[in-house]
Chain A
């Protein structure tokens, strides 16, 4: 146990804990790649990474700047094509966890990484879907990692790039998505939220150590509800922190320099 950690570090570790050993994990660029690397180096040594440029089962080296970085291809079983990983592996239903990063996330777990404002003349233009829509459409579970800021958590996304539960518990079924009721978990530097299958909305299931529900609400636009039992996110051990800092992101590219 160690008190010498940042919430950003614990967010990455907690997100990694959601991944189980042996699973096939489709990872997006940035934080998801870092958290999945951490999982591979700790409790989930036998996970199969899939990356959208084509790598299948790489042993990712610290720390890729891009999904096209050779560090994300190291010792892969196969360097395939985009169609092979997003089509054959993901769309046909072989991915256990789809792991996505930063975007706007709304009450129904929908993600916006495209625009704020009018589509044709947006106030803010973001990068767009990439593989995110595909990952959220087809993975059996959806895992999202994001810093917790008010503007990132609106009641409804003005543009849904990647589907969560769309507009309620049956939203995905009505839309025709094949992955009907995926478990959907959002891990932030303040809390862990999961979709409640009863109403299709995110509920707080865990809080970061020292963080109150009020503090999470202050940083969330939609009205938060808590699950009946809210646990505290487990503090990282010194070993866990060492692995994260020394083996996963020694240059602190994603862990941040501050704190």
Chain B
């Protein structure tokens, strides 16, 4: 009798662990390793009134904001870097439809660090003198406190409230059925965020035997004790990239950006075609290019490792 098997479908994971009104920690960064298969399912199940938190929030955040499922975001940035801004997010903030709180990336990870260690707040010396401290959203009561370093009078230290998401969503390269994760490539804010979260849903490219984890435990990024659900979904981060597996799908990114920028019917058509009328992520994957496209994206990744 070992740790329990947490393997389930995306639909079941979302049904069991995501509720209206929760605070969702988003893994991946920008156009890398977003768990699109879980976010598509959240959209299909119409999970709403969400607070989305993370560092560089990208395409899935933008989709959910565009669909009116999000009440608040807490970010370091919202953008898709070379592919442009997150149009739905930008428009929603400019139209006063979305509450957003800004932090720097180090400030966000500092908040997760406090959360993962069971502490109420955590210090940083970023943000001093900036409007990230001085301006705040309507829904934020107290954003920070500046204290004097008790051991060096006159030195300023910023305290930030810890952040413990209700549920974090992460796409890993490998996991076993119990949720021992191996994340390869960049890690961004994910280790701190995962360990700070009350529940964690993981999607993975490959399901590996627990024996492989336990023979090489030093390679485990996150042990199963933090993980609530494991969803096996190859190509589950498309159109974002997965290090060692596939490059981002630039063509599809540009297509999404065109629809999001245009908004209205173009955006509705996108979500209808790719999300609502696909009952699973596999159906979506069939629509966005099939095997030939995936071989190309895999090849593109292999060339740059």
**Residues in chain A within 8 A of chain B (CB atoms):** 29-30, 52-55, 61, 64-71, 73-74, 79-83, 86-87, 90-91, 114, 119-134, 137-138, 159-163, 166, 171-172, 174-178, 253
Contacts and interface: CB of A to CB of B under 8 A. Distances in A.
A90 B28 CA distance: 21
| Most chain B CB neighbours (cut-off 10 Å) among A91, A129, A131 | A129
Given A91-B106, A119-B135, A121-B96, A66 B32 contact: yes
B191 A120 contact: no
Interface string B211-230: 00000000000000000000
Contacts of A166: 129
B267 to A, nearest CB: 17
Nearest to B301: A70
B109 A53 contact: no
Interface string B73-108: 001111111110110011001101000001111110
Given A65-B81, A131-B106, A125 B135 contact: no
Interface range for B: 35 or more
B83 A65 contact: yes
Interface of A is mostly: loop
Interface string B171-195: 0000000000000011111111000
Given A134-B126, A160-B131, A128 B94 contact: no
A171 B129 CA distance: 8
**Which of B128, B137, B156, B192 has the most A CB atoms < 10 Å from its CB?**
B128
Given A54-B187, A138-B125, 6 more contacts: A79-B186, A122-B93, A130-B55, A130-B105, A176-B129, A253-B82
Given A54-B187, A69-B32, A128 B75 contact: yes
B128 A163 contact: yes
Nearest to B187: A81
B77 A130 contact: yes
A123 B94 CA distance: 6
B186 A131 contact: no
A74 B305 contact: yes
A132 B186 contact: no
Give the residue among A55, A87, A124 with the most B Cβ atoms within 10 A: A87
A176 B113 CA distance: 23
A124 B90 CA distance: 8
